[in-house]
Amino acid sequence: MTPDRTDALWSHVHVLTVIAQTGSFTLAAQRLSLSKAAVSQRIAELERSVGLTLVQRTTRSVRLTDAGQRLVDDTAESFAQIARSLTGVRDMAGATRGVVRVTAPVALGRQHLAPTLEAFFRGHPEVRVELELSDRIVNLAHEGFDLALRHTSAPPDNHIAWRLCDSRTLLVATAGYLRRLGVPEHPSELTGHDCLAYLRTGPAQWLFEQAERPRAGKERERVSVAVQGPLRANNSEVLRDAVLSGLGVAQIPDFSVAAALRAGRLREVLPAWRPVGFFGDAIYAIRPWSRTTPRAVQVLVEHLRQSLVAGFA
């Protein structure tokens, strides 16, 4: 391959972008349906052509050099445009088909997304879904995702966002726990309870406001409470299961406790007060901004809208 044949290197640059997204030669090879050896060979050919090291590899990590990152950044929009064009042409064929890469929070994905996919595939047999469950906020464009489910009150304004359903944060405990520790009537009483908090930096601080709108001329009362307890975790399913064991009281999104509340295994605590400022008030599907949305993404979003509303009911 001669150095001036840059057109012969376009696929090699694409391999580099996928390595940047996945952080792994192995994962890049899986996504591209290539062998790991073929991926390594293309990167080596690209590096020889440009005369610079583009990827630094150790036994533990893969990292792009400054030159590699610049090449990825400069070509990202071009490859994104190619993907959009291919999708648009594919949609002209009539049948809904394609691969949709989705990321979602662990609890939401396990409890309310994954169980509905069998029905989705029955209706759309030529659509494939690659689902990654993670509680971290990923960069959709950089990591190659088509769609993300987010529990938020303010989706990013530089993305396309579909509001799928409302969501509430609930304060819950078991009846047995409340018999032992008592039923709090005001948020300030939580200082005497075992509070299982979502793991974030700094001390656990819970904010509440009155659920009912007060009489004209008055604002809703807000109360901030510093809480303590034996467990903090960064996953709502872990907190829910700890509450179910009688360990304490916790603020948990409704999608993680809906089934337990319906079954009577959990009780809502302080129903006259609403937890605010921690979790979002809606579930959104978001994707990087583009002029058009692939039909496969559109049908999946509509499926999620219908299934999530039914699942939360």
Nearest to 308 by CA among 151, 116, 171: 116
Write out pLDDT tens, residues 72-112: 888 887 877 777 677 666 666 667 888 999 999 998 999 89
- State how far the alpha carbon of 247 is from the alpha carbons of 172, 180, 206, in Å: 11, 11, 18
pLDDT tens digits along 169-200: 999 999 999 999 999 999 999 999 999 999 87
- pLDDT classification of 219: cutoffs 50, 70, 90: confident
Work out the mean pLDDT of the chain and round it to a whole number.
88
Across residues 13-30, what is the average pLDDT?
87
Least-confidence region, from 22-31, 73-82, 277-286: 73-82
Residue bearing the bigger pLDDT, 85 or 123: 123
Which domains, ranges and CATH numbers included, belong to the chain?
Answer: 6-75 (1.10.10.10), 95-164+281-312 (3.40.190.10), 169-276 (3.40.190.290)
